[in-house]
Amino acid sequence: NRTYRIAVIAGDGIGTEVMSEGLKVLGRAAERFGFRLETQEFDFASAEYWTKHGRMLPEDWFETLSGFDAIYFGAVGWPDVVPDHISLWGSLLQFRRGFDQYVNLRPVKLLPGVPGPLRGREPGDIDFLVVRENTEGEYSSIGGKMFEGTDRETVVQETVMTRTGIDRILRFAYEQAQRRGGRLTSATKSNGISITMPYWDERVAEMGESFPEIEVDKFHIDILAAQFVLHPDWFDVVVASNLFGDILSDLGPACTGTIGVAPSANINPTGELPSLFEPVHGSAPDIAGQGIANPVGQIWAGAMMLDFLGEAQAAEAVTTAFETVLESGETMTPDLGGSARCEELGTAIAQAVDAA
C-alpha cells in the first residue's frame, strides 16, 4: 500500500485559499489511483505565526520537516504585518537552502481555453520549462550597510556563484533539454555584470561539451525578456540564475494569460531531504479573503508533487483534469476572464479527476 507523508504549509493570504483546493484535488486523485496521502498541516511560515511567536518558524523546523516525503506549500508574505525580507528569509528561503532544493522547475504553457495576451499565439506555441537555480546567486545575505546616517550611506549585497552550484543546475538543465528534444537557452548578462555572469557563460560552454547533441544559445536577460513576449515559441528549456529565473518565471506565465496557473517544484534531486511544491505566485494581499484566487497553480504544483513521488498516472490525471476544465471555459476565475470562485474551480477540477 503506497502511503506518502506530506507536510502541508498554507502560509498567508490566498495561500490558504488555493491550498484547500489543492488538497481537494489531490485527495480525489489518491482515492482514484489507490494510494494514501498522509497530510499534516503546519501553521508556521505565516504572519499569524510571526505575530504569536516573533519568528517565522519553530526552532526545530528542519527536524520536523525532514521526515516528510514532500512539502506542499501555499504562499507566504503579509507585508503589513512583517517585512517581506524577514518573512521570506525566515521561511521559504530557509526551506530551499536548508533542504538543498537547488533545482526550481517552473513550466510555462499556454493552455487550451485560456486567453493569452500575445497576438496570434496558440497552445503549442508557448511550452517551455524555466530551470531556475534556487540556492545561491543574487539571493545572498552577504553584505551590509556602511556609513549609516551620513551622506555616504552605502549598501552592498554580494552575488555568490560557486562552481558546484552552477554546474549542478546546468547539468540538470542539459538533461532536461535532452529529455525534451534538444534545445537549451541560457539567461545571462555578461555584458554588464562583469564577473559572475561571464563565469556563468563559461560553465554553460564547458558543460555543453558533455552534451554535444544539445543546441545551446544564450541571451542577455534584457533581450531575453523581450523575446519571451515576441517569440515565446523559440524556447524549450531556459536555464537561469536565481534572480533571472525568478523574473522569467512570472513573465513566462503572464505571456500565457495569468500567473495564477503557474507551478513551481523546488527539488532536491538526491531525494535525501524533502522537495517542496508550491505555486509561483505569492499571497496576493490585493485579492486575499475574497475567494476569487485561481487555484490552478497550486493544483498543478500538486501534480508535479505526485509525479515526483512516483504517481505518474495520478499526476497525468490531475493535469488532464485542469486542462479539460479550463478548455471548457465554464468555470473561470476572474484572472481568466470569468466570475467563478476559487472553490468552484477547485471542485470542478476535482470532479474531472474521476473522468480523466
Q: Which amino acid is at 203?
A: R
**28-to-199, 224, 346 alpha-carbon distances in Å:** 47, 40, 11
Q: Which is nearer to ligand NAD, 176 or 249 (CB)?
A: 249
Q: Which amino acid is at 18?
A: V
Please pick, from the candidates 22, 25, 56, 77, the single residue that binds ligand NAD as defined by CB under 6 A. 77
Please pick, from the candidates 30, 105, 287, 345, the single residue that binds ligand NAD as defined by CB under 6 A. 287
Is residue 246 within the footprint of ligand IPM (CB under 6 A)?
Answer: yes
Is residue 284 within the footprint of ligand IPM (CB under 6 A)?
Answer: no
Q: Which is nearer to ligand IPM, 74 or 295 (CB)?
A: 74
Q: CB under 8 Å to 327, separation ≥6 — which residues?
A: 111, 112, 113
Q: CB under 8 Å to 351, separation ≥6 — which residues?
A: 28
Q: Which is nearer to ligand IPM, 274 or 282 (CB)?
A: 282
Is residue 88 within the footprint of ligand IPM (CB under 6 A)?
Answer: yes
Binding residues for ligand IPM, how many (CB under 6 A)?
4
Binding mask 83-122 for ligand NAD (x = CB under 6 A): -x---x---x------------------------------
Rounded distance between C-alpha atoms, residue 337 and residue 331, angstroms: 10
Residue 200, Cβ density class (10 Å: 0-12 exposed, 13-18 middle, ≥19 buried): buried
Is residue 246 within the footprint of Mn ion (CB under 5 A)?
Answer: yes
Rounded to 5 degrees, what angle do the CA atoms 343, 348, 349 make?
100
Residue 67: count other Cβ atoms within 10 Å of its Cβ. 9
The C-alpha cell that represents 115 in the structure block: 486567453
| Complete DSSP assignment for 257-274 | T-GGG-EEEEE-TT-SS-
Least distance in Å: CB of 280 to ligand IPM?
6
Binding mask 199-238 for Mn ion (x = CB under 5 A): ----------------------------------------
Could you identify the residue written with the cell 555543453?
A: 208
Binding residues for ligand NAD, how many (CB under 6 A)?
23
Q: Which is nearer to ligand NAD, 21 or 136 (CB)?
A: 21
Q: Which is nearer to Mn ion, 74 or 306 (CB)?
A: 74
Question: Where along the sequence are the contacts to ligand NAD (CB under 6 A)?
Answer: 14, 18, 75-77, 79, 84, 88, 92, 259-260, 278, 281-287, 293-294, 297, 335
Binding site for Mn ion (CB under 5 A): 246
